DNA sequence: GCAATTGGTGGATAATAGCAACTAATTTTT
DNA sequence: AAAAATTAGTTGCTATTATCCACCAATTGC
């Protein structure tokens, strides 16, 4: 059972949000709040919930055995120390393990564990579905359109080709 | 002077982010991080920096004198307690003041101060410009396209017509 | 071989978020 | 008109993140 319908709060009349009406960053930031919360709910209990990065990390480690923390950090837009703590957490949960790279002994290589791989399977189902569901009121073609544009933005930001 | 170019970190090869590649929520969440940081930089020192909500609050109070905290809370997707603290802060900075509503003495009405109004003027310049600049590598028509779609999403989320 | 760089760690601080409990004022019920 | 339920806002607490900075060890460049 879910929380009681969360009472439809006050119905604000016709409000105009000023210049933000035409400010892309405003929409990104606002929608981020809503979609992140919704995602957290769906991931409840899956020790990959809360905060950005765990999901991406899990999938990347699963796909690229031996990948280095700093590579992931860069892709999830965190600094190395934040990344380190994130890995501590996930390692603590038994999702992955680190080894020191034979090539460069200050670097690490990350490897998925069984538990991690199992979780990755679930994640691959839940996460895209959550996104589709959440944005289901946007026609599919428009969703894809937005995604194609934002994908370029993301890749540009993190410097992917 | 800006920070030294932030050294172009490791250049990850051709990496594929698995199912996230086609997950809208992933892009929203990631881009949110980048755009929010960039915005914070540009607002540095303006006591409206950091965190979502202050900007929207300022503009709304400026545009709708007497507007109620809970209305704003709803539009910025925060709960009442978070909203309260946000107002404390802004009131502390002399940007707005609260009065108890004559109509309903448990409710409040928010009013802009001179300092607040002055800041709103700056904000109206900086914020949309930041967004345009940040996304400047996306052609204008595409930006508008995305915005039109995300606007509908936002309005839907907060229940605006 | 020495200096500069890089990968990762650890600490401290500050900021948010999310709950839950609480007061006071209103509205609804009966 | 009294009791019950709802609503607006406040407060306290906890947990989680985010930064920033200094630091160590290993590596790379001269």
Q: Measured between CB atoms, which of B11, B137, B143 is closest to A159?
A: B11
**Does residue B96 fall inside a structural domain?**
yes
**Does residue B11 fall inside a structural domain?**
no
- pLDDT of amino acid B7: 52
Chain D bases closer than 7 A to any CB of the protein? 7-12, 16-22, 25-28
- Tally of domains in chain B: 1
**Does residue A87 fall inside a structural domain?**
yes
B61: CB partners within 8 A, 6+ apart: B67, B72, B96, B110, B111, B112, B116
Q: How many CB atoms lie within 10 A of CB B41?
A: 12
A35 and B16: CB-CB below 8 Å? no
Instruction: State which residue of chain B sits closest to A148, comparing Cα positions.
Output: B22
Question: From CA B18, how far away is CA A72, in angstroms rounded?
Answer: 13
**Stretch among A1-5, A122-126, A144-148, A154-158 having the lowest mean pLDDT:** A1-5
Show residues of chain A in contact with B153, CB under 8 Å: 27, 31, 135, 137-138
**Does residue B129 fall inside a structural domain?**
yes
**Does residue B8 fall inside a structural domain?**
no
| Residue A136 in this model has a pLDDT that exceeds 90 | yes
Domain range for A100 is 48-128
Would you give per-residue pLDDT tens digits along chain B (161 residues)?
A: 333 444 545 556 688 999 999 999 999 999 999 999 999 999 988 888 777 899 999 999 999 999 999 999 999 999 999 999 999 999 999 999 999 999 999 999 999 999 999 999 999 999 999 999 999 999 999 999 999 999 999 999 998 88
Please, where are the H alpha helices in chain B?
24-42, 54-63, 69-75, 80-92, 114-134, 140-158
Tokens of B5: 């170019």
**CATH code of A72's domain:** 1.10.10.10
B127 and A77: CB-CB below 8 Å? no
**Does residue A159 fall inside a structural domain?**
no
| Residue A1 in this model has a pLDDT that exceeds 70 | no
Q: Which nucleotide is nearest to B41 (CA to C1')?
A: D19
């Amino acid at each position: 059972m879910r929380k009681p319908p969360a009472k439809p709060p006050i119905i604000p009349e016709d409000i105009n949000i000023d210049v933000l009406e035409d400010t892309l960053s405003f929409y990104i930031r606002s929608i981020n709040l809503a979609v992140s919360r919704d995602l957290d709910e769906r991931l409840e209990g899956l020790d990959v919930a809360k905060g950005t990065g765990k999901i991406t990390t899990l999938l990347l480690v699963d796909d690229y055995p031996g990948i280095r923390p700093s590579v992931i950090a860069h892709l999830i837009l965190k600094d190395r120390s934040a990344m380190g703590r994130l890995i501590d957490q996930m390692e603590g949960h038994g999702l992955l393990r680190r080894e020191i790279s034979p090539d460069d002994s200050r670097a690490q290589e990350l490897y998925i564990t069984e538990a991690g791989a199992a979780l990755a399977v679930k994640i691959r189902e839940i996460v895209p579905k959550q996104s589709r569901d959440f944005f289901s009121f946007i026609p599919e073609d428009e969703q894809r359109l937005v995604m194609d544009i934002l994908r370029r933005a993301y890749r540009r930001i993190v410097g992917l080709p």
